[in-house]
Structure 1
Amino acid sequence: MSVPDAKAAVTARDGRRSRSRSRARRTGMPVSVALSAVALAAAILCAIAPGLLAPQDPALIDPAGGLQTASGAHLLGTDALGRDVLSRVVAGARSALVGPLILTSATVVISTFLALLAGYLGGWFDAVVSRVADTIYALPALIVTIVIVGVFGGGWWLAIGVLVVFNTPTALRILRAAVIERRDLPYVEAARTIGVSRWSIMVRHLLPNLEPMIVTCFFLGFTYGMVELSALSFLGLGVPPGSPDWGRMLAENRVQVAQNPWAAVAPGIAIVATVLSANILGGWIYERLERRKRER
């Protein structure tokens, strides 16, 4: 083989390796993302079927067996009332996930609808929506929620409703900016030129192109919602007393942390792991969606 032929072969081989690495980066899932997906799947499974996964009845009280350390009978020990900590962590996944899921779904739907109208139509409607959103955004959401729930005593559902109002401006600002960025692009101008209605343009042309931003808002809102609702439960303003909930478990067991640290540490780890996993997985999905749209 001549020198030019050898150089050409090396160049071709390097090109194939480069394309292979590039393809792997496009299709592969990083270890951190895979672990995050597994952690979220485990939390969802616990929320769906806690009775199948919890080793014992999470509500079973055994005063004589309170504050036991980890053992074969109780892998994470027991709390002050003798309830199995692992079973309560498993059962607590339901309220820990369902609340933020309801909160975030309502927030994303409302903010997407308002962002499409305000961003595309503009004018006085955009001005009013933007000013109201800025005003709500400036208020301390958690403090106002604590005051409202404490005064009216509405509990879990009132807390979710108030947080929907206060979390909507964050997603609204992100999505409205994305709509404004896209409303004058050629494909929108072409649809407008041929007489497509405003509603059809918003729903059929703008909304599909907001998909990456909507995913971002959903995962971001989910993590915020979990932290906020867990904080309210910690303060006694979320789920009813005695219910298995990660935030309430932290509040109930923090004073007995010396006797059985797992009673408070386990729900704290569950909250942190779920929030981090949702953030990592949401960021990866956003990057994949953005890359797919750029490659079209």
Structure 2
Amino acid sequence: MTALDRPFISWRRRLPWSVTASAVLLGVVLLAALFGRLVYPDPMRQDILTGLVAPGAPGHLLGTDELGRDVLAMTVAGTGSALLGPVCVAVGSMLIGILLGTLAGYERGPVDFVISRWADLLLALPLLLAAIVVGGVLGGGYWVTVILLVVLFSPSDIRIVRAGVLEQSARPYIEAAQMLSMPRWRVMFVHILPNVSTLVVTNVMLNVAFALVAFSSLSFLGVGVSTDTADWGAQLAANRQIVFDNPAAVVVPAILIILVACAVNLVGDWLGQRLAQNGTTA
């Protein structure tokens, strides 16, 4: 065994089995999201003659729904819809959190007061209820739901980034940068922001999991996507009446929502710990 092999083996031994399993699951789900439409180009195709069949029927591993649509095809094709929205929500809300949280934590004073009160106001709103009300007024839709959740998720990101920036602002390297008369934007986004990257990465991963559950809940309630769209939440809404005739039509997307959310949480926690350890070691 060479010296170059030792770090890899040591890293592999430190990787918990739960994180390994979660990473494998997320890899499979990501492949399904990228190439699912190639395998099932028309997942919503109806076959009235076939109708509702139970799992294990010839040509239908997970059975079909009342309209003869293949449950496996809809589940695989719905992976892209189920992942794209939550990822956009997590990244979009964090971008708002980085901008406003950094300004609030570094500038303080009136800027901090206004941004913090705005975040407090949004945090006081019940997330799902606010999304249902506003989404209903605007007519719902996939990207309307994404934008709503970006706005409603951003207050927690603002407060987390603000706390990290406040902690970094009191350190000597920031005082040195200020004494050198560096531009304020450079101090905030070039010197401070990289040192709160652990908080940013960890919270983005956790927000993906929370957004997945929120997005699926809204789709189930008819606010996110319609029941005619390949989406896990929409599958739950459309097939809940046939749960006893074909349990897979409801159980499979429900289990996938739970497993993917848990997997993202586990990988996010592990990644945050590794980044924190590397930062402490450095």
Which category of TM-score, normalised to the shorter sequence, fits these structures?
Answer: over 0.9
1:226 aligns with 2:212: yes
Label 1:173 to 1:217 Cα distance change in 2 as closer, same or farther (>3 A).
Answer: same
CA distance in 1, matches of 2:159, 2:241: 41
Q: Where do 4+ consecutive residues of structure 1 move more than 6 Å?
A: none
Q: Look up the SS of the partner of 2:225 in the other structure.
A: coil
Deviation, structure 1 residue 29: 1.5
- What residue number does 2:44 align with? 59
Unaligned residue ranges in structure 2 (runs of 5+)? 1-5
Counting only pairs closer than 5 Å after superposition, residues 275-286 of structure 1 correspond to structure 2 as 275-286=261-272
1:126 aligns with 2:112: yes
Whether the aligned pair in 2 keeps the contact of 1:47 and 1:93 (CA below 8 Å) is: yes
Q: Which has the larger radius of gyration?
A: 1
Deviation, structure 1 residue 242: 0.9
CA distance in 1, matches of 2:102, 2:204: 16
CA distance in 1, matches of 2:230, 2:12: 41
1:114 aligns with 2:82: no
1:38 aligns with 2:24: yes
Whether the aligned pair in 2 keeps the contact of 1:46 and 1:53 (CA below 8 Å) is: no
Whether the aligned pair in 1 keeps the contact of 2:22 and 2:264 (CA below 8 Å) is: yes
Q: Look up the SS of the partner of 1:255 in the other structure.
A: helix
CA distance in 2, matches of 1:168, 1:278: 19
- C-alpha RMSD over aligned residues: 1.8
CA distance in 2, matches of 1:271, 1:190: 48
Pairs aligned (count):
275
Question: In the alignment, residue 156 of structure 1 is paired with which amino acid?
Answer: Y
- What residue number does 1:68 align with? 53
Counting only pairs closer than 5 Å after superposition, residues 53-202 of structure 1 correspond to structure 2 as 53-54=39-40, 57-71=42-56, 72-202=58-188
CA deviations over 1:114-168 (Å, ceiling 9, x no partner):
1111001101100111011001101111111111111221422222212111110
Whether the aligned pair in 2 keeps the contact of 1:67 and 1:82 (CA below 8 Å) is: yes
Identity of matched residues, %? 42
Q: 7, 10, 15: which is aligned to 1:24? A: 10
Q: 216, 223, 239: which is aligned to 2:225? A: 239
Whether the aligned pair in 2 keeps the contact of 1:100 and 1:226 (CA below 8 Å) is: yes
Question: In the alignment, residue 276 of structure 1 is paired with which amino acid?
Answer: C
TM-score (norm 1): 0.88
Question: In the alignment, residue 180 of structure 1 is paired with which amino acid?
Answer: L
TM-score (norm 2): 0.93
1:205 aligns with 2:197: no
Whether the aligned pair in 2 keeps the contact of 1:50 and 1:90 (CA below 8 Å) is: yes
1:263 aligns with 2:249: yes
CA distance in 2, matches of 1:200, 1:152: 39
Deviation, structure 1 residue 48: 1.0
Question: In the alignment, residue 64 of structure 1 is paired with which amino acid?
Answer: L
CA distance in 2, matches of 1:187, 1:26: 35
Deviation, structure 1 residue 25: 6.5
- Select between 71-80 and 91-100 the one with higher mean Cα deviation: 71-80
CA distance in 2, matches of 1:124, 1:168: 20
CA distance in 1, matches of 2:11, 2:78: 37
Whether the aligned pair in 2 keeps the contact of 1:89 and 1:267 (CA below 8 Å) is: yes
Question: In the alignment, residue 239 of structure 2 is paired with which amino acid?
Answer: N
CA distance in 1, matches of 2:203, 2:99: 13
